[in-house]
Amino acid sequence: MIHISKRVDFEIFRGKAAWLNRYVGWAVRLIAVLLSLIVSGILIYSITKMNPVRVYATMVKGAFGSTRKIWAWLRDLVLLLLIAVGLAPAFKMRFWNIGAEGQVLAGGIATAACMIYLGSANIPTPLFLILMAAASMLAGAVWGVIPAIFKAKWNTNETLFTLMMNYIAIQLTSFFIPRWEHPKGSNTVGIINAGTQAGWFPKIAGSQYLLNVIIVAVITVAMYFYLCRSKHGYEIAVVGQSENTARYAAMNVKKVIVRTMTLSGAICGLGGFLAVAGADHTISTTTAGGRGFIAIIVAWLAKFNTLTMILISALLVFLQKGAVAIASEFSLSNDVSDIITGIILFFILGSEFFINYKIGFSKSSGKEA
């Protein structure tokens, strides 16, 4: 007889778990990653007859093979992390914000608009950056707060609402692309301010992406304390668990929902700022690139602990980059990298079952006869 019992011992506000569970959790996740690598190895071998070990070496080289590659990894890591951190308060409040994609794009549009229209105004770089950050956060906040207001006032379904807001953001981007087209006829925005580099993140200590890392590191740590130590964080945890309890505790539930989604949207909007001003220097409908959805996985796997999210986004971005490297090195189609990423995600998500539940085998069946 197999019996399954729940293992979790998880405190929602401060996010403490019994230390034993925490180690078991990481051990299970490690095993899951190894298993996923074995399964993808078998897959790669059966398609290409190549030595899987060589394939994995390619993966590591693809992600960490050079300083430039490490920086690219860091750049993508912090962007994904930032979006996940933005989602954390919403999810902790059990507000299913699947509109990060749209919030990032909204922030991206605002940033691009600043770069295009104010790029020649000779605003000092720090001031310009702050201006763009504020604009992107405002745009993201608007995208996040609209579903929140509807939820608070009329109890609409936030999942559908935030999802639909994504399409509005995508269409809005498509609307701006021909207006910002460069060069004419390319139907892309092209590199904005390629000559002047106005509005681009400056190099710090010779590294183009160090500013991205610093911004995200600060926000990640701040969000950790906001969620796990602050009065607002407490309200978020209680509203997420039970609105009745929140009202009983004299909380203004509507205000908490709107405030939290403003914050969540603003941080995701800041993700658009990082993507446009700090990385791509352009905007397209794929600027968010599905990160708004992958960030959901990151936030959930980390149980809304923003510090744990660092590890998880690091792993996911590594896997993604490695998978792309495999596909190009062995001239496989891009779909293969998607398949590998899919297999790995399947195993990691599946491992959550084994982290949350304990499976036991009873020995009693023999005695019955």
Partner 1 sequence: MENEVKAPAGAVCAESGEERIPAVRMEGISKRFGHKTANENVSLEIYHGEILSLLGENGSGKTTLMNMLSGIYFPDAGSVYVDGKLVHIRSPKDAFDLHIGMIHQHFKLVDLLTAAENVILGMKGKRLLDLKSVRRRITEICERYGFEVDPDKKVYDMSVSEKQTLEIIKVLYRGADILILDEPTAVLTPQETRRLFGVMRNMKQDGKSIVIITHKLHEVMEISDRVAVLRKGEYIGSLLTKDTDPQQLTDMMVGHRVSLNIERPEPENLRKCLEVEHLTVIDSEGVTKLNDVSFTANGGEILGIAGVAGSGQKELLEVIAGLQNAQNGSSVIYTDMEGRTSSLLGLTPMEIKKLGVALAFVPEDRLGMGLVGDLDITDNMLIRTYMEGHGMFVDFKKPRHLAEEIVRELQVVTPGIDTPIRKLSGGNVQKVLVGREISGHPSLLMSAYAVRGLDINTSFMIYRLMNEQKKRGAAVIFVGEDLDVLLELCDRIMVLCAGQVSGIVDGRTATKEQVGLMMTSLGAGAAGAEEKEGAK
Shortest Å, Cβ 270 to partner 1: 20
Closer residue to partner 1 (CB): 14 or 153: 14
Element holding 7 (H helix, E strand):
none
Task: Give SS3 for 4.
Answer: strand
Binding residue (CB under 8 A) for partner 1 from 4, 9, 65, 186: 9
Task: Give SS3 for 240.
Answer: helix
Binding residue (CB under 8 A) for partner 1 from 4, 16, 23, 60: 16
Shortest Å, Cβ 254 to partner 1: 11
CB-based contacts of 58, cutoff 8 Å, min separation 6? 322, 325, 326, 329, 330
Q: Give me the phi and psi of 163, to 5 degrees please.
A: -60, -45
Place of tokens 């949350």: 356
Closer residue to partner 1 (CB): 303 or 321: 303
Instruction: Please give the single-letter amino acid code of residue 184.
Output: K
Stretch that binds partner 1, among 116-124, 250-258, 273-281, 299-307 (CB under 8 A): 250-258
Closer residue to partner 1 (CB): 3 or 49: 3
Shortest Å, Cβ 136 to partner 1: 24
Stretch that binds partner 1, among 1-9, 167-175, 212-220, 277-285 (CB under 8 A): 1-9
Whole-number Å distance between alpha carbons of 341 and 320? 6
The number of CA neighbours under 13 Å toward the Cβ of 50 is 18
Shortest Å, Cβ 21 to partner 1: 12
Closer residue to partner 1 (CB): 16 or 203: 16
Q: Give me the phi and psi of 204, to 5 degrees please.
A: -120, 130
Closer residue to partner 1 (CB): 5 or 66: 5
DSSP string, 159-223: HHHHHHHHHHHHHHHHHHHHHH-SSTTS-S--STTTTT-TTSPPPBTTBTTHHHHHHHHHHHHHH
Closer residue to partner 1 (CB): 14 or 54: 14
- Note whether 11 binds partner 1 by CB under 8 A: yes
- Note whether 249 binds partner 1 by CB under 8 A: yes
- Note whether 255 binds partner 1 by CB under 8 A: no
- Subset of residues 309 to 368 that bind partner 1, contact rule: CB under 8 A: 358, 362, 364, 367-368
| Contact predicate 347/36, CB 8 Å | yes
Size of the site for partner 1 (CB under 8 A): 37
- Subset of residues 189 to 248 that bind partner 1, contact rule: CB under 8 A: 225, 229-235, 237-238, 241-242, 244-245, 247-248
Task: List beta partners, residue 51.
Answer: none
CB-based contacts of 77, cutoff 8 Å, min separation 6? 313, 314, 317
Shortest Å, Cβ 298 to partner 1: 21
Number of Cβ atoms within 10 Å of the Cβ of 67: 9
Q: Which residues bind partner 1 (CB under 8 A)?
A: 1, 3, 5-7, 9-14, 16, 225, 229-235, 237-238, 241-242, 244-245, 247-252, 358, 362, 364, 367-368
